[in-house]
C-alpha cells in the first residue's frame, strides 16, 4: 500500500514535492530517533526543517526542557549523520500523544518466588494470602 501511494505521488508532477518533503521528514525522524535518548525520542515528533532549524513537537514541558538541554549535542550528532541542522527548536504540544511502547511484564526471580511462597505459608487464609498465591503463579 505504501509503495503504491509512493508511486502515485512520484508519478504526479504536482504532488512530487509533497513526496520529497515527506521523505525528508521521515529521514529526519529516523535520524533523530537514533541520536536522541530513547525515552525522549519516543515522546517526540519531527515537525519540519526550515533554515537549518529542526522543529520537534513534544507532549510535555519536562521532555521539552531535557531536549533543549541536550540540543547542542543532538545538533552535532545529526550533523555527523549528514543532516543540515544548526539549531533545534522544541515545541510543547499537549495534544501531541505519541504511542508508548508495549512493556513486557516482568517475571519474579526464583529468590523472590521462594520468599513470597514462604511468607504466604505463614499467613492465615485471607485475601492477602490468595493475592500472593495468584501473584506467585502468574509471575513465576
User: C-alpha angle 71/77/79, rounded to 5°?
Assistant: 100
User: What's residue 1's pLDDT?
Assistant: 47
Task: Give me 104's grid cell.
Answer: 513486557
pTM over cut 0.85: no
Q: In order of start, what are the domains of the chain with their CATH numbers?
A: 2-92 (3.30.300.180), 110-139 (no CATH)
Block means of pLDDT (10 residues each) for the chain, 140 residues, are 61 73 88 92 91 93 94 95 94 70 72 85 87 77
User: What's residue 32's pLDDT?
Assistant: 94
User: What's residue 59's pLDDT?
Assistant: 87
Distance of CA 38 to the CA centre of its chain: 6
Is 115 strand, coil or helix?
helix
Give the integer Cα–Cα distance in Å for 120 and 130: 8
Residue 127: CB partners within 8 Å, gap ≥ 6? none
Backbone dihedral angles phi then psi of residue 76, each to the nearest 5 degrees: -60, -45
Give the integer Cα–Cα distance in Å for 85 and 75: 6
Amino acid at each position: 500500500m505504501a509503495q503504491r501511494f509512493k508511486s502515485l505521488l512520484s508519478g504526479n508532477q504536482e504532488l512530487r514535492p509533497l513526496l520529497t518533503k515527506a521523505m525528508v521528514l521521515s529521514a529526519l525522524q529516523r535520524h533523530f530517533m537514533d541520536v536522541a535518548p530513547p525515552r525522549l525520542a519516543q515522546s517526540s515528533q519531527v515537525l519540519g526543517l526550515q533554515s537549518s532549524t529542526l522543529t520537534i513537537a513534544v507532549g510535555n514541558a519536562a521532555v521539552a526542557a531535557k531536549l533543549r538541554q541536550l540540543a547542542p549535542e543532538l545538533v552535532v550528532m545529526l550533523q555527523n549523520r549528514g543532516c543540515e541542522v544548526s539549531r533545534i527548536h522544541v515545541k510543547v504540544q499537549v495534544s501531541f500523544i505519541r504511542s508508548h511502547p508495549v512493556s513486557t511484564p516482568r517475571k519474579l526471580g526464583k529468590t523472590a518466588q521462594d520468599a513470597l511462597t514462604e511468607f504466604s505459608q505463614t499467613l492465615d487464609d485471607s485475601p492477602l494470602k490468595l493475592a500472593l498465591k495468584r501473584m506467585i503463579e502468574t509471575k513465576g
